[in-house]
Structure 1
């Protein structure tokens, strides 16, 4: 089922065409070995030719003025190819944090650079996970360590969420230490950012800022998961058409047809869940999308491993990359089990 109107269909076609030329399997594998962990030239093309980093930024801040549905399309396409990029961390999380904060001065200073492709990172989670801040504020001085920071090692500006509000820090400020950390998913880089009595600029912060950011984050991530699940399903179907056993393509065996039909049902249901969340924009629907899309991608990737046989677990084959993305993305912004109590709570019934 398609949720695209004509404009989103054109956007999808443009992004897919660009990625097909510059982000195939070989290009992705080369990108993850670079200093920044992504192809800077490809990111520049995505920003300059299509304007992906400016999509959901208002025109008064040099953006396109589109909606998060357009961001959803881009996230799906990036997920299909596992393309490493600053899209989720900078163009989505950081940009939306600024907009949701209501700080007009910060938006005017920072959003035009994000829209142009410059990287800004949001420091959020602590050592106990995504529901505890890693950094504390004493006045306008920050201390502590933020974990799992998307683009934290390459960002020019850091936005920092604390119990005392939102702050802005230059990535090169005295007392800031950044390092990239090992990840299960090599196509997504994460960093640890430590603040040792760092002077920061306090930004405007609304009371519901964290829940609003979390909503955007979960929806954007679910879009990426849908794209990845769709791609690995398509690759599996194609493989079963060409792989022969007992003189027949294995895709003709009824048992395997049933398994791929189940994979298809998971992908399409996940797509519906993700778009429902994007259309409603509510925290409740975002949580549902997070839980369902995380589990759907893990199931589809696991089935793909089985249906590809032994080649799927070799480094040379791409299926293992989708499997790692499935399990890595399930942890991002909190594991599904972290959200299940919310779905069962009386307040949501």
Structure 2
């Protein structure tokens, strides 16, 4: 099976990358992180949200007859990978999945969030909330750009997104994770080339070379799995891709911190933000044990 990107897919990826890096570069990321947690301060950039809608980000998989772009899962994965690369904040997946049913979601006029298991992201800034969020209590978020509410346990409350949406949430989360993993890998390599110790770039030392090489291997393996799952849309493929992508994002950010040393923990570096976002994403539908159990059930069932 050929997983090489077509010229249209490469153009889509490049267009999304240019839009996001132009509108949400490192300076904008730090400014947003600095505003987070300030009472009464809205962190979500509504103007950028509408720009994403105009660019077709939310309506990417909506049929053209319904005013959408008419693309498929592979194209959506490319777009969400770019969003993960720049740590774009906001309930992107929930709004994307609501594009065909919630007025204003496709164009970015409405911000949509959804209950996902015991957590809800961006509840206070959402215009539309899908699912039962009664009794939700705010949490102190690990990631300053992912405000969270915890849902109380209640009889009859569904454990996560509707069954039809759960695999898509997991796959698009995996796409964001590989975007973040790719960025931290690149950041580590750039730092290793320029930071000097004992009169030599630290990238000349074998221990640092091994860290960077391992990061690259995890990124490429996870990306191949995510792209393949976007084509097959098989639940087991998505589960495997999610596990690999979560590992690539979390371990990649941790290794990038190691390459940076103590500087990686400071606000002048974006590395700690990637680590916090990667950790936060692992708690979404399909993360960790959920994917492991789905894969175990698939293996136990044997060949179809």
Give the TM-score normalised by the residue count of structure 1: 0.75
2:51 alignment partner in structure 1: 45
Distance 2:147 2:66 in 1: 28
Question: Within 1, Cα distance between the matches of 2:74 and 2:296?
Answer: 28
Q: Does 1:13 pair with 2:5?
A: no
Deviation sequence 1:136-157 (CA, Å, 0-9, x none) = xxxxxxxxxxx42233322222
Structure with larger Rg: 1
Which range moves more in the overlay, 217-226 or 112-121? 112-121
Unaligned runs of 5+ in 2: 155-160
Over aligned residue pairs, what C-alpha RMSD do you find? 2.6
Rounded Cα–Cα distance in structure 2 between residues aligned with 1:274 and 1:254:
30
Secondary structure of 1:277's counterpart equals helix
| Equivalence for 1:327 | 279
Paired residue secondary structure (1:212): coil
List structure 1 segments (4+ residues) > 4 angstroms apart after TM superposition: 176-180
Please say if residues 178 and 249 of structure 2, whose CA atoms lie closer than 8 Å, have aligned partners that are also in contact. Answer: yes
Q: Shift of the alpha carbon at 1:81?
A: 0.8
Contact 1:89 / 1:151 at 8 angstroms: preserved in 2? no
Deviation at 1:339, TM superposition (A): 2.7
Partner Cα separation in structure 1 for residue 119 and residue 113 of structure 2? 11
- Which residue in 2 is equivalent to 1:137? none
- Residues 242 and 273 (structure 1), Cα distance of their counterparts in 2 relative to 1, 3 Å cut: same
**Residue from 312, 318, 328 that aligns with 2:264:** 312
Q: How does 1:143-222 map to 2 (within 5 A)?
A: 147-160=118-131, 180-192=138-150, 210-222=162-174
Alpha-carbon offset, residue 325 of structure 1: 1.4
Displacement after TM superposition at 1:179 (Å): 5.9
* Unpaired stretches in structure 1, ≥5 consecutive residues: 100-106, 126-146, 162-170, 197-208
- Listed one character per residue, the Cα deviations across residues 12-57 of structure 1 (whole Å, up to 9, x for unaligned) are 1111112222211221122242644322222222222x12111111
User: How far does the alpha carbon of each residue in 1:247-269 deviate from its partner, in whole angstroms, 9 at most, with x for none?
Assistant: 11111223322221111100000
Query: Out of 265, 284, 290, which is 2:242 matched to?
Result: 290
Q: 1:347 aligns with which of 289, 298, 301?
A: 301
| TM-score normalised by the chain length of structure 2 | 0.86
Alignment partner, residue 123 of structure 1: 115
- After superposition, the Cα gap between the structure-2 partners of 1:339 and 1:20, relative to the gap in structure 1 and judged at 3 Å, is closer
Task: From the superposition, tell whether residues 321 and 3 of structure 1 become closer, same or farther in structure 2 (CA, over 3 Å).
Answer: farther
Q: Distance in 2 between matches of 1:326 and 1:156?
A: 25
User: Whole-Å Cα distance in 1 between the matches of residues 236 and 3 of structure 2?
Assistant: 23
